[in-house]
Structure 1
Amino acid sequence: MARMKFYCDAERCIECNACVTACKNENDVPWGVNRRRVVTIKDGEPGERSLSVACMHCSDAPCAAVCPVDCFYTTDDGVVLHDKDICIGCGYCFYACPFGAPQFPESGAFSSRGKMDKCTFCAGGPEETHSSDEQRKYGSNRLAEGKLPLCAEMCSTKALLAGDADIISNIYRERVVNRGASVLDWGVSYEKASLRESRNMKGKVSE
Protein backbone atom coordinates (compact mmCIF):
# COMPACT_ATOMS: atom_id res chain seq x y z
CA MET A 1 0.00 0.00 0.00
CA ALA A 2 1.27 3.45 -0.91
CA ARG A 3 2.22 6.01 1.76
CA MET A 4 1.52 9.45 0.34
CA LYS A 5 3.98 12.22 1.16
CA PHE A 6 5.00 15.70 0.01
CA TYR A 7 8.57 16.86 -0.55
CA CYS A 8 9.68 20.37 -1.50
CA ASP A 9 13.17 20.85 -2.92
CA ALA A 10 14.50 24.21 -1.68
CA GLU A 11 17.16 24.15 -4.40
CA ARG A 12 14.47 24.27 -7.08
CA CYS A 13 11.64 26.36 -5.60
CA ILE A 14 11.48 29.77 -7.34
CA GLU A 15 8.73 31.26 -5.13
CA CYS A 16 6.28 31.54 -8.04
CA ASN A 17 3.29 30.58 -5.81
CA ALA A 18 1.74 28.48 -8.58
CA CYS A 19 1.17 25.71 -6.04
CA VAL A 20 -0.72 28.09 -3.75
CA THR A 21 -2.94 29.36 -6.57
CA ALA A 22 -3.58 25.86 -7.93
CA CYS A 23 -4.67 24.62 -4.50
CA LYS A 24 -7.07 27.51 -3.89
CA ASN A 25 -8.68 27.18 -7.33
CA GLU A 26 -8.95 23.39 -7.31
CA ASN A 27 -10.44 23.12 -3.82
CA ASP A 28 -12.47 26.35 -3.55
CA VAL A 29 -10.56 27.21 -0.38
CA PRO A 30 -12.40 29.80 1.79
CA TRP A 31 -11.15 33.38 1.72
CA GLY A 32 -8.46 33.98 4.32
CA VAL A 33 -7.36 30.33 4.37
CA ASN A 34 -4.27 28.97 2.62
CA ARG A 35 -3.95 25.21 2.64
CA ARG A 36 -0.54 25.69 1.04
CA ARG A 37 1.84 28.64 1.28
CA VAL A 38 5.38 29.48 0.21
CA VAL A 39 7.78 30.39 3.02
CA THR A 40 11.03 32.25 2.23
CA ILE A 41 14.01 32.07 4.59
CA LYS A 42 16.70 34.80 4.57
CA ASP A 43 14.68 36.84 2.09
CA GLY A 44 17.02 39.07 0.04
CA GLU A 45 20.12 37.75 1.79
CA PRO A 46 22.83 35.28 0.76
CA GLY A 47 21.56 31.75 1.12
CA GLU A 48 17.93 32.68 0.47
CA ARG A 49 15.69 29.63 0.10
CA SER A 50 11.96 29.12 -0.42
CA LEU A 51 9.77 26.18 0.55
CA SER A 52 6.20 25.26 -0.30
CA VAL A 53 4.56 24.21 2.97
CA ALA A 54 1.27 22.45 3.72
CA CYS A 55 0.07 19.52 5.80
CA MET A 56 2.83 16.90 5.62
CA HIS A 57 0.43 14.03 6.43
CA CYS A 58 2.60 12.78 9.29
CA SER A 59 2.79 9.09 10.09
CA ASP A 60 2.17 9.97 13.76
CA ALA A 61 0.24 13.22 13.35
CA PRO A 62 0.43 15.55 16.40
CA CYS A 63 -2.84 17.23 15.36
CA ALA A 64 -4.64 13.92 15.75
CA ALA A 65 -2.98 13.30 19.11
CA VAL A 66 -4.32 16.52 20.67
CA CYS A 67 -7.79 16.64 19.07
CA PRO A 68 -10.33 16.26 21.93
CA VAL A 69 -13.08 14.98 19.63
CA ASP A 70 -10.97 12.69 17.39
CA CYS A 71 -11.99 14.35 14.14
CA PHE A 72 -8.72 13.29 12.44
CA TYR A 73 -8.21 9.96 10.74
CA THR A 74 -5.59 8.40 8.45
CA THR A 75 -6.54 6.69 5.18
CA ASP A 76 -5.03 3.46 3.88
CA ASP A 77 -2.76 5.62 1.70
CA GLY A 78 -1.37 7.44 4.74
CA VAL A 79 -3.28 10.69 4.10
CA VAL A 80 -4.35 12.54 7.27
CA LEU A 81 -7.92 13.83 6.85
CA HIS A 82 -10.49 15.33 9.21
CA ASP A 83 -14.25 15.26 9.66
CA LYS A 84 -15.72 18.78 9.71
CA ASP A 85 -18.98 17.47 11.13
CA ILE A 86 -17.10 16.46 14.30
CA CYS A 87 -14.64 19.40 14.52
CA ILE A 88 -15.52 21.92 17.27
CA GLY A 89 -12.98 24.58 16.22
CA CYS A 90 -11.02 24.44 19.49
CA GLY A 91 -7.70 25.26 17.81
CA TYR A 92 -5.60 22.61 19.60
CA CYS A 93 -4.46 21.20 16.26
CA PHE A 94 -3.32 24.67 15.17
CA TYR A 95 -0.89 24.86 18.10
CA ALA A 96 0.25 21.24 17.84
CA CYS A 97 1.11 21.24 14.11
CA PRO A 98 4.76 22.24 13.45
CA PHE A 99 3.84 23.25 9.88
CA GLY A 100 0.88 25.51 10.70
CA ALA A 101 -1.34 23.39 8.46
CA PRO A 102 -4.70 23.68 10.29
CA GLN A 103 -6.39 26.95 9.31
CA PHE A 104 -9.51 28.72 10.57
CA PRO A 105 -11.58 30.83 8.12
CA GLU A 106 -12.82 33.56 10.47
CA SER A 107 -11.33 35.96 12.99
CA GLY A 108 -12.10 35.88 16.67
CA ALA A 109 -11.76 33.24 19.36
CA PHE A 110 -11.11 29.73 18.09
CA SER A 111 -14.46 28.38 19.23
CA SER A 112 -16.23 31.04 17.14
CA ARG A 113 -14.12 30.66 14.00
CA GLY A 114 -16.01 27.68 12.68
CA LYS A 115 -14.61 24.43 11.32
CA MET A 116 -10.90 23.90 10.81
CA ASP A 117 -9.64 23.55 7.24
CA LYS A 118 -6.41 22.02 5.96
CA CYS A 119 -4.69 20.30 3.03
CA THR A 120 -6.34 16.99 2.12
CA PHE A 121 -3.70 15.82 -0.39
CA CYS A 122 -6.56 16.29 -2.87
CA ALA A 123 -8.16 13.19 -1.34
CA GLY A 124 -11.54 14.67 -0.39
CA GLY A 125 -13.03 13.73 2.96
CA PRO A 126 -15.36 11.30 4.73
CA GLU A 127 -18.36 12.16 2.55
CA GLU A 128 -19.29 10.02 -0.48
CA THR A 129 -16.56 10.20 -3.13
CA HIS A 130 -17.16 12.96 -5.71
CA SER A 131 -20.39 13.99 -4.02
CA SER A 132 -21.41 17.64 -3.83
CA ASP A 133 -20.99 17.55 -0.03
CA GLU A 134 -17.42 16.29 -0.35
CA GLN A 135 -16.55 18.99 -2.88
CA ARG A 136 -18.17 21.73 -0.78
CA LYS A 137 -16.55 20.74 2.52
CA TYR A 138 -13.17 19.37 1.48
CA GLY A 139 -12.56 20.20 -2.15
CA SER A 140 -11.39 18.00 -5.00
CA ASN A 141 -10.77 14.24 -4.71
CA ARG A 142 -8.10 13.79 -7.37
CA LEU A 143 -6.60 10.78 -5.60
CA ALA A 144 -9.76 8.75 -6.29
CA GLU A 145 -9.24 9.56 -9.99
CA GLY A 146 -5.68 8.24 -9.95
CA LYS A 147 -4.21 11.76 -10.01
CA LEU A 148 -1.72 13.54 -7.77
CA PRO A 149 -2.45 16.80 -5.92
CA LEU A 150 -2.69 19.71 -8.35
CA CYS A 151 -0.15 21.80 -6.41
CA ALA A 152 2.58 19.30 -7.31
CA GLU A 153 1.31 18.86 -10.86
CA MET A 154 1.53 22.62 -11.46
CA CYS A 155 5.09 23.07 -10.13
CA SER A 156 7.09 24.16 -13.17
CA THR A 157 10.50 23.29 -11.69
CA LYS A 158 9.34 20.04 -10.05
CA ALA A 159 10.44 21.44 -6.70
CA LEU A 160 7.22 20.19 -5.12
CA LEU A 161 6.74 16.44 -5.39
CA ALA A 162 3.82 14.33 -4.20
CA GLY A 163 3.25 10.60 -4.26
CA ASP A 164 4.39 7.36 -2.69
CA ALA A 165 7.10 7.93 -0.08
CA ASP A 166 9.42 5.30 -1.58
CA ILE A 167 9.29 6.91 -5.03
CA ILE A 168 9.77 10.41 -3.59
CA SER A 169 12.80 9.30 -1.56
CA ASN A 170 14.36 7.65 -4.62
CA ILE A 171 13.94 10.87 -6.60
CA TYR A 172 15.51 12.86 -3.76
CA ARG A 173 18.52 10.54 -3.57
CA GLU A 174 19.02 10.80 -7.31
CA ARG A 175 18.90 14.60 -7.14
CA VAL A 176 21.49 14.70 -4.36
CA VAL A 177 23.83 12.57 -6.45
CA ASN A 178 23.32 14.81 -9.50
CA ARG A 179 24.09 17.93 -7.44
CA GLY A 180 27.54 16.56 -6.83
CA ALA A 181 28.32 16.92 -10.55
CA SER A 182 30.07 19.88 -12.12
CA VAL A 183 28.16 23.17 -12.14
CA LEU A 184 28.50 23.18 -15.94
CA ASP A 185 26.65 19.86 -16.09
CA TRP A 186 23.78 20.99 -13.86
CA GLY A 187 21.43 21.73 -16.75
CA VAL A 188 22.05 18.32 -18.27
CA SER A 189 21.56 16.63 -14.90
CA TYR A 190 18.33 18.57 -14.35
CA GLU A 191 16.98 17.48 -17.73
CA LYS A 192 17.86 13.84 -17.24
CA ALA A 193 16.51 13.79 -13.69
CA SER A 194 13.26 15.41 -14.80
CA LEU A 195 12.75 12.78 -17.50
CA ARG A 196 13.40 9.98 -15.03
CA GLU A 197 11.07 11.54 -12.47
CA SER A 198 8.28 11.78 -15.05
CA ARG A 199 8.63 8.08 -15.81
CA ASN A 200 8.77 7.17 -12.11
CA MET A 201 5.75 9.25 -11.12
CA LYS A 202 3.53 8.28 -14.07
CA GLY A 203 0.80 5.89 -13.00
CA LYS A 204 2.19 5.39 -9.48
CA VAL A 205 -0.29 7.25 -7.35
CA SER A 206 -1.00 4.09 -5.37
CA GLU A 207 -0.02 0.46 -5.43
Structure 2
Amino acid sequence: MARMKFLCDDERCIECNACVTACKNEHEVPWGVNRRRVVTLDDGQPGEKSISVACMHCSDPPCAAVCPVDCFYVTEDGVVLHDKDLCIGCGYCFYACPFGAPQFPQNGTFGVRGKMDKCTFCAGGPEEDFSEAEFEKYGRNRLAEGKLPLCAEMCSTKALLAGDGDVIADIFRERVVRRADRDEKPAQPKVPWGWGPAYGEKKP
Protein backbone atom coordinates (compact mmCIF):
# COMPACT_ATOMS: atom_id res chain seq x y z
CA MET A 1 0.00 0.00 0.00
CA ALA A 2 1.33 3.42 -0.97
CA ARG A 3 2.19 5.89 1.77
CA MET A 4 1.61 9.48 0.71
CA LYS A 5 4.46 11.88 1.45
CA PHE A 6 5.62 15.43 0.74
CA LEU A 7 9.18 16.38 -0.16
CA CYS A 8 10.49 19.87 -0.87
CA ASP A 9 13.69 20.19 -2.90
CA ASP A 10 15.51 23.21 -1.44
CA GLU A 11 17.69 23.43 -4.56
CA ARG A 12 14.62 24.24 -6.65
CA CYS A 13 12.36 26.28 -4.34
CA ILE A 14 12.30 29.96 -5.40
CA GLU A 15 10.07 31.21 -2.55
CA CYS A 16 7.25 32.21 -4.93
CA ASN A 17 4.55 31.12 -2.42
CA ALA A 18 2.38 29.64 -5.19
CA CYS A 19 1.88 26.55 -3.02
CA VAL A 20 0.62 28.67 -0.12
CA THR A 21 -1.80 30.61 -2.31
CA ALA A 22 -3.05 27.48 -4.09
CA CYS A 23 -3.83 25.79 -0.78
CA LYS A 24 -5.72 28.76 0.65
CA ASN A 25 -7.78 29.20 -2.52
CA GLU A 26 -8.55 25.52 -3.07
CA HIS A 27 -9.81 24.89 0.45
CA GLU A 28 -11.08 28.38 1.34
CA VAL A 29 -8.91 28.29 4.45
CA PRO A 30 -10.09 30.81 7.09
CA TRP A 31 -8.19 34.01 7.82
CA GLY A 32 -5.26 33.52 10.18
CA VAL A 33 -4.72 29.86 9.22
CA ASN A 34 -1.95 28.75 6.84
CA ARG A 35 -1.92 25.05 6.17
CA ARG A 36 1.29 25.52 4.17
CA ARG A 37 4.03 28.14 4.41
CA VAL A 38 7.42 28.83 2.88
CA VAL A 39 10.33 29.06 5.33
CA THR A 40 13.65 30.68 4.39
CA LEU A 41 16.81 29.37 6.04
CA ASP A 42 19.86 31.62 6.52
CA ASP A 43 17.92 34.57 5.12
CA GLY A 44 20.26 37.07 3.45
CA GLN A 45 23.31 34.91 4.06
CA PRO A 46 25.43 32.86 1.64
CA GLY A 47 23.72 29.55 1.05
CA GLU A 48 20.22 30.95 1.67
CA LYS A 49 17.55 28.36 0.85
CA SER A 50 13.78 28.12 1.08
CA ILE A 51 11.50 25.15 1.71
CA SER A 52 7.74 24.69 1.66
CA VAL A 53 6.47 23.28 4.96
CA ALA A 54 3.14 21.74 5.97
CA CYS A 55 2.01 18.61 7.79
CA MET A 56 4.49 15.89 6.82
CA HIS A 57 1.99 13.07 7.57
CA CYS A 58 4.37 11.23 9.86
CA SER A 59 4.35 7.45 10.12
CA ASP A 60 4.19 7.83 13.91
CA PRO A 61 2.57 11.27 14.33
CA PRO A 62 3.44 13.02 17.62
CA CYS A 63 0.27 15.10 17.36
CA ALA A 64 -1.82 11.94 17.66
CA ALA A 65 0.29 10.73 20.60
CA VAL A 66 -0.52 13.80 22.72
CA CYS A 67 -4.16 14.42 21.69
CA PRO A 68 -6.32 13.83 24.80
CA VAL A 69 -9.49 13.15 22.77
CA ASP A 70 -7.93 11.00 20.01
CA CYS A 71 -9.20 13.17 17.20
CA PHE A 72 -6.34 12.11 14.88
CA TYR A 73 -6.40 9.07 12.63
CA VAL A 74 -4.24 7.70 9.80
CA THR A 75 -5.78 6.59 6.51
CA GLU A 76 -4.75 3.51 4.52
CA ASP A 77 -2.62 5.82 2.35
CA GLY A 78 -0.70 7.05 5.40
CA VAL A 79 -2.38 10.47 5.47
CA VAL A 80 -2.78 11.94 8.98
CA LEU A 81 -6.24 13.49 9.36
CA HIS A 82 -8.30 14.74 12.28
CA ASP A 83 -11.93 14.97 13.33
CA LYS A 84 -12.96 18.56 14.07
CA ASP A 85 -16.09 17.34 15.84
CA LEU A 86 -13.85 15.72 18.48
CA CYS A 87 -11.21 18.47 18.69
CA ILE A 88 -11.38 20.58 21.86
CA GLY A 89 -8.74 23.13 20.83
CA CYS A 90 -6.34 22.32 23.67
CA GLY A 91 -3.26 23.05 21.53
CA TYR A 92 -1.22 20.02 22.62
CA CYS A 93 -0.77 18.97 18.99
CA PHE A 94 0.64 22.38 18.13
CA TYR A 95 3.38 22.05 20.74
CA ALA A 96 4.13 18.42 19.85
CA CYS A 97 4.46 18.92 16.08
CA PRO A 98 8.06 19.65 14.98
CA PHE A 99 6.77 21.28 11.76
CA GLY A 100 4.23 23.66 13.33
CA ALA A 101 1.52 22.11 11.16
CA PRO A 102 -1.52 22.40 13.46
CA GLN A 103 -3.07 25.86 13.11
CA PHE A 104 -5.69 27.68 15.15
CA PRO A 105 -7.94 30.59 14.11
CA GLN A 106 -6.59 33.99 15.14
CA ASN A 107 -9.78 36.01 14.82
CA GLY A 108 -11.37 34.84 18.07
CA THR A 109 -11.17 36.08 21.65
CA PHE A 110 -7.69 36.03 23.21
CA GLY A 111 -7.04 32.62 24.75
CA VAL A 112 -9.81 30.90 22.81
CA ARG A 113 -8.17 28.56 20.30
CA GLY A 114 -11.15 27.15 18.47
CA LYS A 115 -10.96 24.00 16.32
CA MET A 116 -7.55 22.96 15.04
CA ASP A 117 -6.90 23.03 11.29
CA LYS A 118 -4.03 21.55 9.30
CA CYS A 119 -2.95 20.21 5.91
CA THR A 120 -5.07 17.23 4.88
CA PHE A 121 -2.96 16.22 1.83
CA CYS A 122 -6.12 17.27 -0.03
CA ALA A 123 -7.81 14.14 1.35
CA GLY A 124 -10.80 15.74 3.07
CA GLY A 125 -11.85 14.36 6.43
CA PRO A 126 -14.11 11.83 8.15
CA GLU A 127 -17.26 13.26 6.57
CA GLU A 128 -18.76 11.67 3.44
CA ASP A 129 -16.62 12.22 0.33
CA PHE A 130 -17.59 15.29 -1.73
CA SER A 131 -20.21 16.34 0.82
CA GLU A 132 -20.82 19.98 1.71
CA ALA A 133 -19.91 19.25 5.34
CA GLU A 134 -16.55 17.79 4.29
CA PHE A 135 -15.66 20.82 2.19
CA GLU A 136 -16.76 23.28 4.87
CA LYS A 137 -14.63 21.62 7.58
CA TYR A 138 -11.65 20.21 5.66
CA GLY A 139 -11.66 21.55 2.11
CA ARG A 140 -11.70 19.75 -1.20
CA ASN A 141 -11.02 16.01 -1.37
CA ARG A 142 -8.69 15.83 -4.39
CA LEU A 143 -7.32 12.40 -3.46
CA ALA A 144 -10.81 10.91 -3.85
CA GLU A 145 -10.89 12.53 -7.30
CA GLY A 146 -7.66 10.74 -8.21
CA LYS A 147 -5.59 13.93 -8.08
CA LEU A 148 -2.52 15.02 -6.11
CA PRO A 149 -2.48 17.96 -3.66
CA LEU A 150 -2.83 21.25 -5.51
CA CYS A 151 0.18 22.82 -3.78
CA ALA A 152 2.49 20.31 -5.50
CA GLU A 153 0.70 20.59 -8.84
CA MET A 154 1.05 24.38 -8.80
CA CYS A 155 4.79 24.37 -8.01
CA SER A 156 6.36 25.88 -11.14
CA THR A 157 9.86 24.52 -10.46
CA LYS A 158 8.63 21.12 -9.21
CA ALA A 159 10.45 21.72 -5.96
CA LEU A 160 7.44 20.46 -4.00
CA LEU A 161 6.71 16.81 -4.68
CA ALA A 162 3.71 14.86 -3.39
CA GLY A 163 2.55 11.28 -3.81
CA ASP A 164 3.68 7.74 -3.10
CA GLY A 165 6.73 7.97 -0.83
CA ASP A 166 8.69 5.39 -2.84
CA VAL A 167 8.09 7.25 -6.11
CA ILE A 168 9.02 10.58 -4.52
CA ALA A 169 12.23 9.07 -3.13
CA ASP A 170 13.19 7.73 -6.57
CA ILE A 171 12.63 11.12 -8.21
CA PHE A 172 14.73 12.91 -5.59
CA ARG A 173 17.47 10.27 -5.77
CA GLU A 174 17.76 10.80 -9.53
CA ARG A 175 18.03 14.56 -9.01
CA VAL A 176 20.82 14.13 -6.46
CA VAL A 177 22.78 11.86 -8.80
CA ARG A 178 22.42 14.34 -11.69
CA ARG A 179 23.62 17.18 -9.46
CA ALA A 180 26.64 15.16 -8.35
CA ASP A 181 27.57 14.48 -11.99
CA ARG A 182 27.11 18.16 -12.85
CA ASP A 183 29.29 19.33 -9.96
CA GLU A 184 32.11 16.98 -10.92
CA LYS A 185 32.28 18.53 -14.40
CA PRO A 186 31.13 22.15 -14.10
CA ALA A 187 30.42 23.98 -17.32
CA GLN A 188 33.35 26.20 -18.22
CA PRO A 189 32.35 29.64 -19.54
CA LYS A 190 34.01 30.57 -22.84
CA VAL A 191 35.61 33.93 -22.12
CA PRO A 192 38.46 35.16 -24.31
CA TRP A 193 40.15 37.59 -21.89
CA GLY A 194 41.84 35.23 -19.43
CA TRP A 195 39.37 34.68 -16.59
CA GLY A 196 40.02 30.94 -16.66
CA PRO A 197 41.78 30.75 -13.25
CA ALA A 198 38.68 32.20 -11.54
CA TYR A 199 36.80 29.14 -12.76
CA GLY A 200 39.44 26.61 -11.80
CA GLU A 201 41.11 26.47 -15.20
CA LYS A 202 44.79 27.37 -15.46
CA LYS A 203 46.01 29.01 -18.64
CA PRO A 204 49.53 28.11 -19.91
Q: Same fold (TM over 0.5)?
A: yes
SS at match of 1:6: strand
Shift of 1:180: 1.0
**Larger mean Cα displacement after TM superposition, 14-23 or 100-109:** 100-109
Matched, 1:120 2:123: no
Aligned match of 1:51: 51
Q: d(CA) in 1 for partners of 2:187 and 2:59?
A: 39
Q: d(CA) in 2 for partners of 1:37 and 1:49?
A: 14
1:187-206 pair list within 5 angstroms: none
Q: d(CA) in 2 for partners of 1:150 and 1:45?
A: 31
Aligned match of 2:136: 136
> Aligned letter for 1:52?
S
TM-score, normalization: structure 1?
0.87
Aligned match of 1:62: 62
Matched, 1:24 2:27: no
SS at match of 2:162: strand
**Over alpha carbons, which structure has the higher Rg?**
2
> Aligned letter for 2:187?
L
TM-score, normalization: structure 2?
0.88
Q: What do the CA deviations read for 1:64-111 (whole angstroms, capped 9, x no partner)? A: 0000000000000000000000000000000000000000013522xx
Q: d(CA) in 1 for partners of 2:89 and 2:113?
A: 7
Q: d(CA) in 1 for partners of 2:119 and 2:180?
A: 34
Q: What do the CA deviations read for 1:20-71 (whole angstroms, capped 9, x no partner)? A: 0000000110101000000001111100000000000000000000000000
Q: d(CA) in 1 for partners of 2:71 and 2:101?
A: 15
Q: d(CA) in 1 for partners of 2:45 and 2:126?
A: 44
Q: d(CA) in 2 for partners of 1:69 and 1:184?
A: 58
SS at match of 2:19: helix
Q: d(CA) in 2 for partners of 1:127 and 1:184?
A: 54
Matched, 1:184 2:201: no
SS at match of 2:73: strand
SS at match of 1:143: coil
Q: d(CA) in 2 for partners of 1:126 and 1:178?
A: 42
Q: d(CA) in 2 for partners of 1:95 and 1:184?
A: 47
**How many aligned residue pairs are there?**
183
Query: Which structure dedicates a bigger proportion of its chain to helix?
Result: 1
Q: d(CA) in 1 for partners of 2:155 and 2:30?
A: 22
Q: d(CA) in 2 for partners of 1:9 and 1:96?
A: 25
Shift of 1:181: 2.1
Shift of 1:113: 1.8
Kept after mapping to 1: 8 A contact 2:91/2:113 = no
Q: d(CA) in 2 for partners of 1:80 and 1:170?
A: 23
Q: d(CA) in 2 for partners of 1:184 and 1:150?
A: 35
Identical pairs, percent: 80
What is the Cα-based RMSD across aligned positions, in Å?
1.1
